[in-house]
Structure 1
Amino acid sequence: MELVCAAGQAMSSPGPTPLTGMDLSGRHKIIFWVGRGKTGKTTGIRWLAEKTLLNGTPLLMADLDTTNDTFSRYIDKVARPPEAIDPAMSLKWLDRLLQHSLNQKISALIDLGGGDTTLRRLAVELPDLVALFEAQGFAVVLFHTVGPQEEDLSPLATLQGLGFKPTASAIILNEAMMDIGETRETAFARILRHSVVRHAIGAGAVPVFMPKLFAAQAVEIRRLKFHDAAAGKTGRADTPLGPFDRSRVKNWLAMMDDHFAGIRSWLP
């Protein structure tokens, strides 16, 4: 099987070498991160938020995942709509946030829950949404996290069916969802052959493998940011991570940088 990336490069099989996407340097970004529940979406969002804030880049952050508030629990100043808000009000809430991002020229990172319909309804109401942002020098970026199950592609398939065409999109293949003993090639073979993914890649989407964080549970128990965990901070526990787990987190952070290197300009 041959895959072709946005830059026209070909590869014979999926692997860790990052593919290069279009250059979005110098542009503000509206990043929608989508994915079914339990696919590791929030892990990726937390990593990206931490990385951006550590670089000192201004960033609006919003958590519309009503079933999982992990993003807003771990990262300060993440906006959430009021509890029990109805879908129509949720759309208005997101509308206001996006307009604020546009008016203030600030990038935004938006966590959309697995069953959330806000983006798809916005795409129906504003079919020229991407063009509106691009006219103001913004890029609309879609990150879609999946595991090896074909059902994980449903949010992407729905957006494709609505004709939603972001400036750039990445399919984040989460290695933490693989069965023990599987390779990424065998685990994600069906996903990468799927018509939804082939269509996305043909339109310029870039597949990115997200490495597994083996010390994830120890980090979660302490409710630590990833860089704080690697630095030996204690969080909610009395003790920091042990030296092996600190090394695992440091290695994971380095691998995340490597795996996302081809689309680094898509980050805020």
Structure 2
Amino acid sequence: MRLDIEDLSVEVAGARLVHDITLTAAEGQVVGLVGPNGSGKSTLLRCVYRALRPAAGRVLLAGDDLHALGAREGARRLAALPQESSAEFDFTVAEVVAMGRLPHRRRGPGTPSDARAVCADALARVGAAHLAERGFLSLSGGERQRVLIARALAQQPRVLVLDEPTNHLDIAHQLDVLTLVREAGPTVLAALHDLNLAALHCDLLYVIARGRIVASGAPHDVLTPRLLAEVFGVSAHRVRHPRTGAVQLLFDRLRDQLHDQEQEHRP
């Protein structure tokens, strides 16, 4: 399902944090949103999954205004994994994942066998099937994150919004999660902190700074040393991944590079 964000602006407590953002994620694409802390990534995503309402502009799913859809229909089309998720009650892992089936649930008690199968499959895909009967609050941060990703997959959305989905995950699970969400097939819009993971897994990147899109395109076109110095304040050295050929980055502090240049030109 195609996702379009058109001229979107977001205000919080009277301050405009996101300005006139337009972006597109075509059906089945994995689109990354990258930028420094405080740039507006999470604010934008909260508007996309309807935790906030836009001050201006629209979020469209296959041409339909998301904010005009009913809650149930919206949840059938779009699932979200926020950056911070909390639980006050100690549900089992199986119960947490089953919450992903609520938008599809028919009236009446119990969980249909087909829904249980979907949930079991989602847990297996994130490597958490052995946690099904554990209390959610007893899990480590990485285990909780995998369970929440399983819940989003169990929802079987057409569009999946992820805010820093690799938080708390070890490197193996970071690689696995971004691979499996692509294999699951939805259109994905993800805010990512790790630029190398973004370069490996995203079809397109949008770079956001001070609430505005400042660059967009394929990762190898966007992640240039000049842009990374201007937006992130770092010196970047580009290399190629030996297997995939994707651009990967090695970083230095920008001040160290400037110091080295000064030393080279000193008589």
TM-score (norm 2): 0.37
Larger relative strand fraction: 2
Relative contact order: is structure 1 or structure 2 higher (C-alpha 8 Å, sep ≥ 6)? 1
